[in-house]
Structure 1
Amino acid sequence: MNMPNYFELFDLPVQLPVDVSLLTANYQQLQRQYHPDNFATANDNDKMVMVQKSAMINDGYHTLKNPIKAAEHLLSLKGFDAATEQNIIHDADFLMEQFVLREKLEDIESQDDFVILDDFHSEVFARQHDVYKQLLEFINKQDWEAALNQIFKIRYLTRLIEQIEKLQEKQYAL
């Protein structure tokens, strides 16, 4: 089965970043239109089709609302499956930077210092934002390979941010 085009589904231009207010307005309209309660008297087959359509609307909304998932979706429409493509980053500088950031996190973890950890969180979050801005530039230039590489970089940074946030939760729980 063909993958749905969520931009089409929500009547949005195929571009990033997604206009979230327009996405939300179109989502709410579709939700009202395809709400299962509207098909209470329909036959079982029609009900099943509506439930599937409603699920697709929800999935599309959550995909396009998330900037990274929206980028992955756009790339998949261009023939690049970010989920199955190998997560290989051919950028030695970026990989070295990741190594340094992970070492820094280990040092911070041993220091037990809220302020340093919060600052580090902000630093990595800002780095992820920069990589996202580069991703948008590559998409605008239709350089799909480079855009895919940026998504892989964002995944690395996202995992690091998740580790930092787990540490923060641990520290604040003490």
Structure 2
Amino acid sequence: MKNHFELFHLPQKFAIDMAALDSAFHEVQNRVHPDKFINAGDTEKRVAMQWATRANEAYRTLRNPFKRAAYLCELNGVDLQIQSNTAMPRDFLMQQMEWRDELEEAKADRDLAALEGLESDLRAARKKKLSDIAALLDADDFVAAAQGVRQLMFLEKFGEEVEAVFEKIEG
């Protein structure tokens, strides 16, 4: 069975050409779209549906930088240990604590400007973390990249919490 990169004829690297991904996805979708199998037998219809589902999943994975990084780690035999490995560098944890304090303060004060500043800092941190992960993946350091992916998960989750506070204050 082909991996997601092979399915779309793309190099197995973090940095991918999004236009090439989109084009390859549409090509695969056109070949396996259920409408093309209206007069086919049940087995052919089921296989086409499985391929369409797999292509959709592969596309969503490769399109999302976080999911693509995690997938590359797993392809290269590195288990992300998302549930069991929550160890983080001290400076990363300290930053998380500072941001949580800022979030609670902004929430209590209903301070949109503080929330926007926090969101901006978080966006910059995610961008830097993704850049660091990309460099590690392209250097084939999948163990260190996996640690970065776990950190990015924390950043993503915190971003969702910030968004929820925005909605509560604005709504």
Structure 1 and Structure 2 fold alike (TM over 0.5): yes
Q: Secondary structure at the match of 2:13?
A: coil
Q: 1:128 aligns with which of 126, 129, 154?
A: 126
Q: Which amino acid aligns with 1:156?
A: F
Aligned twin of 2:39: 41
Q: Hey, what does 1:78 align to over in structure 2?
A: 76
Instruction: State the partner residue of 2:12.
Output: 14
Q: Deviations over 1:15-72 (max 9, x none)?
A: 1122111100111111111111111122111111111011000111111110100111
Give 1:83 deviation, angstroms: 6.3
Residue 153 (structure 2) pairs with residue 155 (structure 1): yes
Q: Take 1:163 and 1:85, find their aligned partners in 2: how far apart are those partners?
A: 20
Residue 89 of structure 2 aligns with which residue?
A: 91
CA distance in 2, matches of 1:83, 1:42: 43
- Give 5+ residue unaligned stretches, structure 1: none
**Which 4+ runs in 1 deviate beyond 6 A?**
none
Higher relative contact order (CA 8 A, sep 6+): 2
Which residue of structure 2 aligns with residue 165 of structure 1?
163
- After superposition, the C-alpha distances for 1:103-129 in whole angstroms (9 at most, x for unaligned) are 121111111111111111011111111
Partner Cα distance (2:159, 2:88) in 1:
22
TM-score in terms of structure 2 length: 0.94
Equivalent residue, structure 2, for 1:25: 23
TM-score (norm 1): 0.92
Contact in 2 for aligned 1:18/1:67 (Cα 8 Å): no
Whether contact under 8 Å (2:106, 2:112) holds in the other structure is: no
Please report how far the alpha carbon of residue 99 of structure 1 lies from its aligned counterpart in structure 2 after TM superposition.
1.4
Question: What is aligned with 1:60?
Answer: 58
| Residue 81 of structure 1: how far off its partner (Å) | 3.2
In 2, the alpha carbon distance for the partners of 1:63 and 1:50 equals 20
Output the CA distance in 1 between the equivalents of 2:52 and 2:4. Answer: 13
Contact 1:89 1:153 in 2 (8 A): no
Counterpart secondary structure, 1:86: coil
* Aligned ranges 1:134-149 → 2 under 5 Å: 134-149=132-147
Change (3 A) 1:84 1:115: closer
Gaps of 5+ in 2: none
RMSD of aligned Cα (Å):
1.5
SS of 2:140's equivalent in the other structure is coil
Task: Compute the displacement of 1:85 (Å).
Answer: 6.2
| Percent identity between the two aligned chains | 30
Q: Distance in 2 between matches of 1:66 and 1:164?
A: 20
Distance (Å, rounded) in 2 between the aligned partners of 1:82 and 1:17: 20
Q: 1:169 to 1:84 in 2, by over 3 A?
A: closer
1:110/1:84 Cα in 2 relative to 1: closer, same or farther (>3 Å)? closer
SS at the partner of 2:11?
A: coil
CA contact (8 A) 1:121 1:161 kept: yes
